[in-house]
Amino acid sequence: MTGKTKTLLVVAGEFPPLKTIGRIRTVKFVDHLRAHGWRSVVVAAAPTGREPNFDPSLAREIPGDTEVVRVPLVDYEERIALAAKRMLGRGGTATPAAVAASAGPPKTVSAGGGTPPGGALDRAHDLVRHVLKHYVHVPDNYRGWARLAQRECERICATRHIDAIYTTLPPFSSALVGYNLRRSTGLPWIVDYRDLWYGDVLREWLPAWRTRLELGMERRLLRRADVIVTVSEPKTAYMQKLHPGLNARWDTFTNGFDVETYRDLARTRPFDPGVIEFVYTGRLFKNRRGYAFAEALGRIARRDRNLVAPVRVRIVGGVSPEIRTRYDEILREYDIAAHFRFEGDVNQSAALDAQVNCDYLLLIVDTGETSDGVIPGKLFEYIAARRPIFALCDPGVTQQILERSRAGVVIPAEDVDGVERALLEVLRTPVPQSVQLDEDYLAQFDRKAIAARFAGLLDEVAARLPAR
């Protein structure tokens, strides 16, 4: 590191100790940029400790010399639930809603007080949730947080020497903070799209009027951006076509992996020909489902129970209720429930342990119109774990990375016939005890190399500022 240290103001709704895959990109940039003369001041959501994805052990991911300013998430649903209880004379305290781990719909609040299911309070609560989700939380339920975060950022910019502003999306409300700071301070603004805003495969639930509204909002905000970054070339190309004529510079910085994360993790479970363990670590929700794997296994079981007898499938992470319901239907239909374990959310160390000790890593990628540009952060965790990957993934950049790196087998996400053929081959072949990856190809995804390139971009942007 040479020259004067510069300061990056990072606006991140998702940050440790919240256990979201999105937090990793941000905290790793914060960490590795230090070697290139950039320190960070982070403005992030303040966890309550009651979130289902709260993992206090993740605090160690934050470099010790990094300043983190925590801003509370404004939970309108909880406030309304408490007010309703008071009006009805219920007293007590409602269970606070979990701070959202993503920019998705708000979580359910339990009002308590013994109200029977389907009672007036429950119906009113459902109505409130619907109104908030569709008409108030635009673009997401971090809108109130963004207003508070902007005040903190303005204070920081007024009292500190800041060289650039970096907002990472989602939550998409973070873009409002960057836009307003760019206008009020003149500092360069880098907006980083981990997921698409308009066109994201996980936001297809939006009604048409809201989609048009948010597209207009996104276009207005991006007119002030100095740099627009996405995580894959297809996403960058998609956004350039969606937002032509912007003055911003476009760039792509993929997610990546840290060799150090897995360096000290040794396999402790012996290879056993009597057990073939598939592990999926992460959430299943919306367009990330993986039904084809269960159906394919069920088809094979109907023909040859002995072949599937060794199979154990561990789903390590949260599963949305509607997806779990469909899984239960499939498992009953094929009588294969004994082969599946839904373990729910675990801490990060338990997830890493499951990855290195499995026989095959099961990767389930989102489906949808823009899924060709999706590179899940989970992909790089899996590659670093160095176990063979069985991927349900539509054609696109993730498929290309898997095939080019020789990390595993890839089948279109909903192609049950294709999954069945590939799974038959896997079950008839001894479990490989190692994976021969294309290390030269994968070197570009080392987070240190990515951070070095990002630091170069920040240096260029900051150099355009007049001396202060």
> What residue spans define the domains of the chain?
6-73+142-256+447-463, 76-136, 259-444
Statement: residue 114 has pLDDT above 60: no
Q: What's the CA gap between 43 and 146, in Å, rounded? A: 10
pLDDT at 91: 53
User: What digits encode the pLDDT tens for the residues 185-229?
Assistant: 999 999 999 999 999 888 888 889 999 999 999 999 999 999 999
Q: Tell me if 70 sits within 8 A of 36, measured CB to CB.
A: no
pLDDT bin (cut points 50, 70, 90) of residue 111 is very low
- Among 79, 121, 72, smallest CA distance to 96 is for 79
**Alpha-carbon distances of 73 from 25, 77, 155, 277, rounded to whole Å:** 21, 11, 19, 39
Homologous superfamily in CATH for domain 6-73+142-256+447-463: Glycogen Phosphorylase B; (3.40.50.2000)
| Token pair of 221 as six digits | 């905000």
Give the rounded percent of residues in the chain with a pLDDT score beyond 70: 88
Q: What's the CA gap between 15 and 435, in Å, rounded? A: 32
Question: Residue 132 carries which DSSP code?
Answer: I
In the chain, the largest separation of any two C-alpha atoms, in whole Å, equals 74
Statement: residue 97 has pLDDT above 70: no
pLDDT bin (cut points 50, 70, 90) of residue 80 is low
Contacting residues for 51 by C-beta, under 8 A, at least 6 apart? 18, 98, 99, 101
Q: Tell me if 363 sits within 8 A of 391, measured CB to CB.
A: yes
pLDDT at 125: 66
456 alpha-carbon distance from chain centroid? 26
User: What digits encode the pLDDT tens for the residues 4-33?
Assistant: 899 999 999 999 999 888 899 999 999 999
Neighbours of 128 (CB within 10 A): 18
CATH class for the domain made up of 259-444 = alpha beta
> Would you give the end-to-end CA distance of the chain in angstroms?
22
Q: pTM of the prediction?
A: 0.84
pLDDT at 74: 76
pLDDT at 129: 73
User: What digits encode the pLDDT tens for the residues 241-281?
Assistant: 999 999 999 999 999 998 888 888 889 999 998 999 999 99
pLDDT at 82: 63
pLDDT at 201: 82
Q: If you average pLDDT over every residue of the chain, what do you get? A: 89
Contacting residues for 108 by C-beta, under 8 A, at least 6 apart? 97, 129
pLDDT at 116: 46
pLDDT at 107: 36
Give the rounded percent of residues in the chain with a pLDDT score beyond 90: 76
User: What digits encode the pLDDT tens for the residues 389-420?
Assistant: 999 999 999 999 999 999 999 999 999 999 99
The yes-or-no answer to whether 6-73+142-256+447-463 and 259-444 have a common fold is yes
Most confident of 87-91, 133-137, 372-376: 372-376
Q: Tell me if 33 sits within 8 A of 59, measured CB to CB.
A: no
Q: What's the CA gap between 10 and 44, in Å, rounded? A: 8
Q: What's the CA gap between 256 and 251, in Å, rounded? A: 16
User: What digits encode the pLDDT tens for the residues 289-308?
Assistant: 999 999 999 999 999 999 99
